[in-house]
Amino acid sequence: MAKESPVQVPDKIQDKQSLADSPVFLEINNVTKIFGSAVAVQDFKLQVRKGEFVSFLGSSGCGKTTTLRMIAGFELPTSGTVMLDGEDITYQSPNQRNVGMVFQSYALFPNMTVGQNIGFGLQVRKISKTEIKQKVDEMLSLIHLEQHIDKYPYQLSGGQQQRVALARALAIQPRVLLLDEPLSALDAKIRVELRLEIRRIQQQTGITTVYVTHDQEEALSLADRIVVMSQGHVEQVGTPSEIYNHPTTEFVASFIGQLNLLPVENVDLKNGACTLGGQMVRFDHSEPRPVGETPRLAIRPEEFQFGQAEGHNVLKGRVENVMFLGAVVRLRINVRGALLSADLFNERAMSLPRVGDVVMVNFPAHACWLM
Amino acid sequence: MKRNTFWSWFWLAVGVLYFILPLIATFLFSLRAKKGVLSFLAYEHVINDPSFWESFLFSLVVAVFTILVSLLLVVPTAYWIRLRLPQLRTMIEFVTMLPFVIPAIVLVFGIIRVYSGAPFHLTSTFIGTDSLLVAAYAVLALPYMFRAVDSGLGAIDIRSLTEAAQSLGANWFTILFRVIFPNLRVAILSGAFLTLATVIGEFTIASFLVGIHAFGPYMSLIGQNKTYEASSLTIISFGLTWAFMGLLQFITRGRAESLAGAH
Amino acid sequence: MSSKPDSKPVENKRDAPQARSALSVWRDWLGVAPFILFAILFILLPSLSLLFGSFQDSKGNFTFQNFMDLFTPDIMGAYWVTIRISLVTALGGGLLGFMMAYGVTVGGLPRWVRSGLSTFSGVASNFAGVPLAFAFIFTLGRVGMVTLLLKSLGVDLYDKGFSLYSFWGLSFTYMYFQFPLMVLTITPALDGLRREWREAAENLGATNTEYWLKVALPILTPSILGTMILLFGNAFGAYATALSLTGGFINLITILIGSQIKGDVLHNPGLGYALAMGMVIVMAVMMTIYYFLRRRSERWLKQ
């Protein structure tokens, strides 16, 4: 799993160049939301380009849904503005914004059929019946549910209901598509299928999208950019690989994926060296980073390899635990008191070390950094 | 979003007025038994009337029996159809809806027709008519009792409780009385209070079966002759209903469906 | 990440066991036997007895005459009055109850108002019959408090033709227990209007009115109608309140049946039984409609 040298991983199939040329479409400027005495969102700043898929990622209570609802108009910011296509929509009522919203609980109207649900927004806009029929058919083929047009929500599965909700939001040709944890209520397998569907549809229609989730895998696999939030603050904004490989705060580093934080001594920042459990280790000092009071070495478990390698750091330690997780084998190794997790890809012919064995693991200098 | 609550308050005020005015009117009237002076004389008369206590206690005892009979009928049945005979559920639910289809007056009509003549001859003895009364009230209480107990059972996992009890050696009797009933306290109490409120003031069935031995017909008789006492009785009756429903609300902490009554 | 939350204990499938031996099946039926016996003795038997009686003449021969006799103007009039009063109080009580329930749920009144209303409604819906009639006599009777109050303000109700002891007086009295029943039943339904439906409707461009007309009211209609049917049934079968208030002056079916049981006037038991059957038929029709409405709304709102 270790890489010889840092490889530039292309982020999405989408042409990065075309996104960069896109104009800024949705701007959230210094938005703060306070409920009573609790600060839900603090100074949120973001510029989203047209056609971009942005994900708000964080655990419950971090403010991601509140921010989304402010874009939709269901909450009003305590301060700050929301601009859409150059227009200040901060105080506009929700039924005038023309943003499409998909709710976690689908929120399909139970008294209407699939066709009527999808056509609702058009009906409200007094569009002619023939045009509505046309649009509804178009939407149904987009989500592949043509034969369900006359069914009622209770007759559909969760995944089907959510697709209808998506079609309903898209039918009005909104300027922005907002999704509030749309997959949380669904089974794991449906979740994976449906999120690919959502991305496919988004790319097909080119609609600017904001996707709120607490699931890292969803955010990492779907978004062009991710906004990691914690307790009302934005921790970091970046592409998935930026967030993963170059986390700027400790929160982001430990929230996304697994991370080893190992205590080190004798830190030499200029040359990028320190000692870990008495052994010398070189780290990536190319980027200026704030280092805390007690410096720690940050390295992802997948960066380790067995044995020694030319030019790589080497650590010697005793195996404390071996966990077979299927595709990955996770080892807990004790290096003079510091416990590190090492993830190795499973190989059929591999013989696993046993608890108590002394092993050597290596990793390149650029795979770790100081926090 | 700030809502204009004017109309909400308006309709509330209308309802509250509707509710309170008759009570105020009755209460004020009840204080006027003594000429020219406000007093509780009417209440004194009622409390000192032995027929008041007789009929009230009679109805109370009948209510208690009704509750016991209903519980003994409803709880095992509701339990069994959940645990062993789910296919019977539709039929049993249908039966519990029947009292809605058969008004009290029709029920008492039918009961008298069947049980006053041969071969039962129940109406010629006190114990006979009293039993018929309890049975009729149990029918009336059926929908509410069943609904309360059924939803109470729905909230506890009776399969696991039963299996646990069985594995510890309990027989059905023990399971019912020491495991199921105690866990249904809230549901049972809410059904009981509702039945209590319904039975104590009931008039229709009581008037045909037991006459003024029961509280309802007693009130009616007083109303025909003594207006002041009638008003104080009304207030007393209202106070009782309030007490029962208040206790009921306290016990169920406000689950609205259990509060609805019918007449 | 967990799979779809399934918080309700999975009773329906687990409770019912697979194959059972014949003995234990027989034993299970024993458990519900008392209930079934009771139902047969005190619901089925009386009803059947009335049914058979309605087809018999005074000598015990089979006849349709009793039912034919129902179609006399007096009896038809009685049915019509009873139906009218039930409709009026169901609609009137239903509307007032709905407005109040709306106020404490969607309408934004404070929490304490809601629990107060709940208690009041519980009491009022049970406070029917003899004491209720008395209370209204003391309020709106010839020398009732409100009557006298209005008189002192220059408005003489009884002069203007109003009388408590009339159709409208009785209706007004009935509504006392009708509207609280509506409040109690419709409040949970209003609570069941999920916030997301309103937000989704707004999000798609609907105004408040459009949301109510196209989404909320259609969703609520089965419950509203269903409750109104219950209210109808309530009023239709009411006896004590009517008797205590009007002394039998207004010819309601229940009053007629009551007289029949007492043995006055009609001296035609078969007719009495036919009257009772007529009531049961009307109620059965209402309950069937109610059942289908309930089913429809439960299906829609099923998760």
pLDDT 10s digits, C179-220: 998 998 898 889 888 889 999 999 999 999 999 999 999 999
Partner residues linked to A341 by β-bridges: A332
d(CA C266, CA A282): 110
pLDDT in the model for residue B251: 75
Nearest to C196 among A107, A172, A187 (CB): A107
Q: Assign residue B206 a region (left: φ > 0; alpha: ψ between -120 and 50; beta: otherwise).
A: alpha
Yes or no, beta carbons of B85 and C115 under 8 Å apart? no
A110 at C interface, C-beta within 8 A = yes
Encoded tokens for C103: 């106020």
Predicted TM-score (pTM) of this structure: 0.79
Phi, psi dihedral angles at A303 (to 5 degrees):
-75, -10
Taking a C-beta distance cutoff of 8 angstroms, is the pair C167, C279 a contact? no
How buried is B80 (Cβ within 10 angstroms: 0-12 exposed, 13-18 middle, 19+ buried)?
A: buried
Phi, psi of C150 (to 5 degrees): -65, -35
3-state secondary structure A157-196: CHHHHHHHHHHHHHHCCCCEEEEECCCCCCCHHHHHHHHH
- C-beta of residue C125 within 8 angstroms of C-beta of residue C177: yes
Q: Which of A263-277, B187-201, C65-79, C256-270 has the lowest mean pLDDT?
A: C256-270
**ipTM attached to this prediction:** 0.84
Residue C136 is which amino acid? Answer: F
Compute the distance between CA of residue C176 and CA of residue C165 in angstroms, rounded to an integer. Answer: 16
Q: Judge whether residue B118 has pLDDT over 70.
A: no
**Is residue A35 within 8 Å of A80, Cβ to Cβ?**
no
* Interface subset of A 318-337, CB within 8 angstroms of C: none
The pLDDT of residue C239 is 92
pLDDT score recorded for residue B259: 43
Q: Which residues of chain C have pLDDT under 70?
A: 1-22, 264-267, 302-303
Q: Which residues contact C114 (CB under 8 A, 6 or more apart)?
A: C104, C105, C187
Query: Which residue type is seen at C281?
Result: I
Candidates C259, C257, C260; CA nearest to C79 is: C257
Q: Which amino acid is at A207?
A: I
Residue B203 has pLDDT above 70, yes or no: yes
A107-124 pLDDT, tens per residue? 999 889 999 999 999 988
CB-CB under 8 Å, A94 with C203: yes
Chain A nearest CA to C187, separation (Å)? 19
Cα distance between residue A291 and residue A289, in whole Å: 6
Q: Where are the alpha helices (DSSP H) in C55-194?
A: 65-69, 73-104, 111-126, 130-140, 145-152, 167-191
Asked if residue B202 lies in contact with residue B216, where contact means CB atoms within 8 angstroms, the answer is yes
Q: Give yes or no for residue A16 having a pLDDT over 60.
A: no
Helix/strand/coil for A211 = strand
Cα dihedral sign for C262, C266, C272, C278? negative
CA distance C157 to C163: 8
Q: Which of residues C3 and B147 earns the better pLDDT score? A: B147
pLDDT at B42 over 70: yes
pLDDT of residue A184: 92
Other C-beta atoms within 10 Å of B160: how many?
A: 11
Its sign, for the CA torsion A345, A346, A352, A355, is: positive
| 8 Å CB contact between C239 and C174 | no
Q: Cα–Cα distance between A19 and A39 in angstroms, integer?
A: 33
Query: How far is C284 from C47, CA to CA, in rounded Å?
Result: 13
Nearest chain C alpha carbon to A124: C206
| Local confidence band at B253 (pLDDT 50, 70, 90 cut-offs) | low
Indicate the residue of A94, A123, A158 with minimum beta-carbon distance to C202: A94
Alpha-carbon gap: C89 to the closest alpha carbon of chain A (Å)? 28
A247 touches A74 (CB < 8 A):
no
Query: Do the Cβ atoms of C218 and A188 come within 8 Å?
Result: no
